[in-house]
Amino acid sequence: MTYYRHHLFFCTNKRAEGAERPSCGHCDSARLRTYAKARLKELGLAGAGKARANTASCLDRCEEGPCLVVYPESVWYTFVDEADIDEIIESHLIGGKPVERLRLPDRPDKT
């Protein structure tokens, strides 16, 4: 058993205004990570043997919108608001079923 059953890493990287690539930090990702962390605590899902929501620097999927990855399953998500975070927590973490409508491809496009 791992220390955390689920580990959520939220990209909160902020590039300078006018940068060539977008960044998750300009899409409210830090605030939504804070929301996820509070929601996990509220639901009794936070802590050792349960889940943890962490800040990550650039996860290098900038063009796909704000992103987070859930381990140990290695499921990548994009999100835009609290409802998306709630759905990820309820469906994936509690129910064991990834949220397909928010899921990012597992592998980069090979084109």
What is d(CA 13, CA 10) in angstroms, rounded to the nearest whole number? 9
Nearest CA to 59 out of 70, 46, 43, 72 is that of 70
Query: pLDDT tens digit string along 20-62?
Result: 898 888 899 999 999 999 999 999 999 999 999 999 999 999 8
Position 109 scores a pLDDT of: 64
Position 108 scores a pLDDT of: 65
What is d(CA 43, CA 59) in angstroms, rounded to the nearest whole number? 27
- All domains in the chain, ordered by first residue: 8-102 (3.40.30.10)
What are the two backbone dihedrals, phi and then psi, of residue 41, each rounded to the nearest 5 degrees? -65, -45
Whether the full predicted model's pTM is greater than 0.85, yes or no, is yes
